[in-house]
């Protein structure tokens, strides 16, 4: 079953179960689907999302998630400028106006007290609330996530707090409403703007009130009269607190460090630092995949500066240094890479409860640098230490490390560090088998990559075992006739041909071609290589006529449309060859 790795940031984690918060996690899906549908299926309403990045690139809600994608989902950015990136939400509304669901009546009164336009009716249906939000361009406030997930809603917010004044403070901070506050200017009952009364107290004012007060206001809609009563001073203090963007009840947050207990930045500051750091890290990833390694390193430097002053041991700094080491390695600046990676390893080791997964990755990266520098004994020791940390991670149930090692193997192969790539693939296979079982899709992918490594090293017996393992697992998961198996059968046939095992090669290559033909839309890129390989094995067995026929068929597949006549000719040729092989 296809799956993708998701990571949600900031307050979006409020919608996730505890075991999925503040960490990457895998999510399986039956068919490729728009990222918006998968995000909401995980519990996060789309109006809460500001930015979605797939594999380091910004995407819209319509992006179709594929197997193996890495999806990062961000809430609204408060102080970090991300305007160069594609946003999934429409532009902010120029005038912040709200409509509240039926459970937020007291919040509506608080917002009206602050002078904010807040529509509320205790009998409004969900359909009516959505209609009002869309037609009047209002922000929908609710504590119903299902209501926020309505397709028509473009601007909405899930209110986290439960006490009305705290809810109002949350909304003011979330939408930066300080400059829009006009306290005591709206009717608390019907939301209309109040009108100042001239000529003394109105007739409906109580006698004692008329004697004590001179200033009165009236609602033009419901005719209710207002004056500055005894509660006015208390309300004014609360409003000033909101206007100054201060928390009504500040609670300093403390963090444990290796050197004792020390005060950290406040919770809001910490949340912003964490979100900013994550964004710089993803921007670095986007720059790297776009081929701009220097810009990626600049983003990582900004990420390091963002968290450099936090209390030791600094986990965020260690993760940043680890990534910088990888990029310096990519640029073959090995001494800088070694410095960054050694510092990262030291921080990971100094944690009160070291994370074996992160430690394994950092040690693996450092060992790869030492190998590139020609310091083989140190590199070998580093790989052993990385393997030990990986075993500890697996024992603790952390299967994310396997995916990371698998990706690292691709990088190591591209950089020519084949020994470290083999280590990564073997460890990834072992961890996948331990976490998901020996016949999981992840294990099949590792078998496939190991087979390619062994083929390149002419280690044919190990390559054959790995290919047969991939075929066995995928045949069980997908079915024995699935076209996905064609590539593996072709590689197995090519392997047998290299060993002059031509009957076995012919059977595997014929099987590959047959499976490719069985696809609803056969692709030349899959079918033609199998036919060319079959032509070569026939030539090696001194069957020139059959070899020439197969070569011509392969050329027709490559250079013309695969019509019914060509498909029939290929199928008859392969069936004839298979019958010949069956006769011995």
Give the percent of the chain with pLDDT over 90: 25
Is 190 exposed, middle or buried (CB count within 10 Å of its CB: 0-12, 13-18, 19+)?
A: middle
Q: Which pLDDT value is given to residue 78? A: 44
SS3 317: helix
Quick one: pLDDT at residue 60? 86
265 in any annotated domain: no
**CB neighbour list of residue 107: distance below 8 Å, 6 or more residues apart:** 100, 118, 141, 159, 164, 167, 168, 171
Distance CA 20, CA 43 (A): 11
The helix (run of H) or strand (run of E) holding residue 226 is: strand 225-226
The tokens describing 164, both together, are: 């009305």
Q: Determine the pLDDT at residue 80.
A: 45
In the structure, what pLDDT confidence band is assigned to residue 287 with cuts at 50, 70 and 90? confident
Residue 186 placed within a domain:
yes
Which two tokens mark 15? 């919608």
pLDDT at 51 over 90: no
- What pLDDT is attached to residue 251? 32
Does the reported pTM lie above 0.75?
A: no
Kindly state whether residue 536 falls inside one of the protein's structural domains. yes
Q: What is the pLDDT of residue 261?
A: 35
Residue 193: strand, helix, or coil: strand
Q: Which residue has the higher pLDDT, 289 or 71?
A: 71
Helix (H), strand (E) at residue 504: helix 502-517
Residue 425 CB burial class (10 angstroms; 0-12, 13-18, ≥19): buried
C-beta separation of 306 from 273 below 8 A = yes
Residue 327, in any domain of the structure: no
In which residue are the tokens 């450099």 written? 308
Query: CB count, 10 Å around CB of 181?
Result: 17
Least confident of 248-262, 400-414, 459-473: 248-262
Task: List pLDDT tens digits, range 121-178.
Answer: 988 999 999 999 989 989 999 999 889 988 888 888 999 988 888 899 889 888 878 7
183-192, 370-379, 468-477: least confidently modelled range: 370-379
201, 217, 243 — which closes off a domain? 243
pLDDT at 92 over 70: no
**Cα(193)–Cα(365) distance, rounded to whole angstroms?**
64
Considering only CA atoms, which of 311, 194, 178 is closest in space to residue 257? 311
Nearest Cα neighbor of 185 from 99, 112, 243, 95 is 112
Does residue 253 have a pLDDT over 70? no
Q: Output the pLDDT for position 183.
A: 87
Average pLDDT taken over every residue of the chain? 81
Query: How many angstroms separate the CA atoms of 279 and 300, rounded?
Result: 10
The CB density around residue 66, as the number of other CB atoms within 10 Å, is 11
Is the distance from CB of 350 to CB of 362 less than 8 angstroms?
Answer: no
- As for how many domains the chain has, the answer is 2
pLDDT at 518 over 90: no
Which structural domain, as residue segments, surrounds residue 153? 104-117+149-243
Q: What is the pLDDT of residue 528?
A: 82
Q: Is the pLDDT of residue 252 over 70?
A: no
Q: Is residue 449 part of a domain?
A: no
Q: What is the pLDDT of residue 311?
A: 76
The whole-number pLDDT of residue 394 equals 62
Contact 45, 39 (CB under 8 A): no
CA distance 387 to 153: 49
Residue-level pLDDT at 248: 37
Among 200, 218, 243, residue at a domain's last position = 243
Helix (H, G, I), strand (E, B) or coil at 254: strand
- Among the candidates 205, 225, 243, a domain finishes at 243
Rounded CA-CA distance 192/218 in Å is 10
Give the confidence band of 247 by pLDDT, cuts at 50, 70, 90. Answer: very low
Highest mean pLDDT of the ranges 66-75, 80-89, 425-434:
66-75
Lowest mean pLDDT segment, chosen from 105-114, 413-422, 436-445, 458-467: 413-422
Q: Is residue 294 situated within a structural domain?
A: no
Lowest mean pLDDT among 49-63, 218-232, 382-396: 382-396
More confident site: 259 or 51: 51
Q: Is residue 248 included in any domain, yes or no?
A: no
Distances (CA, A) of 76 to 12, 118, 168, 272, 276: 10, 21, 18, 11, 12
Residue 162 domain-assigned (yes or no): yes
């Amino acid at each position: 079953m296809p799956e993708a790795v998701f990571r949600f940031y900031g307050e979006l984690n409020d919608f996730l179960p505890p075991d999925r918060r503040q960490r990457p996690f895998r999510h399986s899906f039956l068919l490729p689907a728009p990222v918006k549908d998968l995000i909401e299926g995980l519990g996060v309403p789309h109006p809460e999302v500001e930015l979605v990045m797939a594999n380091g690139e910004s995407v819209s809600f319509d992006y179709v998630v594929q197997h193996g994608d890495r999806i990062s989902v961000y809430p609204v950015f408060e102080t970090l400028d991300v305007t160069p990136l594609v946003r999934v939400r429409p532009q902010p509304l120029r005038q912040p106006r709200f409509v509240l669901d039926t459970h937020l009546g007291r919040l509506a009164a608080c917002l009206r007290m602050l002078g904010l336009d807040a529509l509320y009716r205790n009998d409004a249906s969900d359909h009516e609330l959505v209609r009002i939000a869309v037609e009047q361009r209002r922000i929908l406030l609710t504590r119903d996530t299902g209501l926020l997930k309505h397709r028509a809603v473009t601007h909405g917010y899930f209110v986290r707090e439960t006490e009305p004044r705290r809810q109002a403070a949350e909304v003011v901070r979330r939408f930066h409403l300080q400059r829009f506050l006009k306290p005591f200017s709206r009717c608390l009952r019907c939301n209309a703007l109040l009108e100042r009364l001239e000529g003394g107290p109105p007739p409906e004012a109580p006698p004692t009130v008329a004697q004590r007060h001179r200033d009165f206001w009236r609602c033009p809609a419901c005719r209710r009269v207002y004056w500055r009563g005894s509660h006015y001073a208390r309300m004014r203090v609360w409003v000033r607190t909101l206007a100054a963007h201060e928390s009504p009840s500040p609670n300093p947050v403390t963090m444990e460090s290796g050197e004792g207990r020390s005060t950290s930045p406040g919770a809001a500051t910490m949340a912003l630092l964490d979100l900013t750091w994550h964004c710089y890290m993803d921007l670095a990833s986007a720059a790297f995949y776009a081929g701009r390694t220097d810009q990626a390193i600049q983003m990582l430097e900004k990420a390091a500066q963002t968290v450099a002053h936090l209390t030791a041991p600094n986990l965020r700094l260690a993760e940043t240094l680890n990534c910088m080491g990888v990029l310096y390695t990519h640029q073959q600046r090995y001494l800088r890479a070694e410095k960054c990676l050694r510092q990262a390893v030291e921080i990971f080791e100094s944690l009160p409860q070291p994370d074996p997964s992160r430690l394994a990755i950092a040690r693996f990266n450092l060992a790869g640098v030492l190998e590139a520098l020609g310091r083989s004994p140190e590199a070998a020791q580093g790989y052993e230490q990385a393997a030990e940390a990986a075993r500890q991670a697996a024992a603790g149930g952390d299967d994310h490390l396997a995916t990371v090692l698998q990706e690292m193997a691709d990088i190591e192969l591209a950089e020519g560090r084949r020994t470290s790539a083999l280590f990564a693939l073997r460890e990834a296979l072992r961890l996948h088998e331990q976490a998901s079982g020996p016949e999981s899709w992840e294990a099949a992918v590792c078998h496939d990559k190991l087979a390619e490594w062994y083929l390149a090293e002419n280690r044919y017996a190990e390559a054959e075992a790995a290919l047969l393992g991939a075929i066995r697992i995928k045949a069980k998961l997908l079915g024995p006739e699935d076209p996905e198996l064609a590539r593996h059968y072709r590689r197995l046939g090519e392997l047998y041909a290299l060993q002059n095992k031509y009957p076995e090669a012919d059977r595997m290559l014929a099987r590959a071609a047959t499976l490719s033909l069985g696809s609803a839309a056969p692709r030349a890129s899959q079918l033609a290589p199998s036919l060319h390989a079959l032509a070569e094995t026939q030539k090696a067995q001194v069957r020139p006529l059959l070899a020439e026929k197969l070569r011509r068929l392969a050329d027709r597949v490559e250079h013309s449309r695969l019509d019914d006549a060509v498909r029939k000719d290929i199928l008859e040729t392969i069936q004839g060859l298979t019958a010949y092989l069956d006769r011995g």
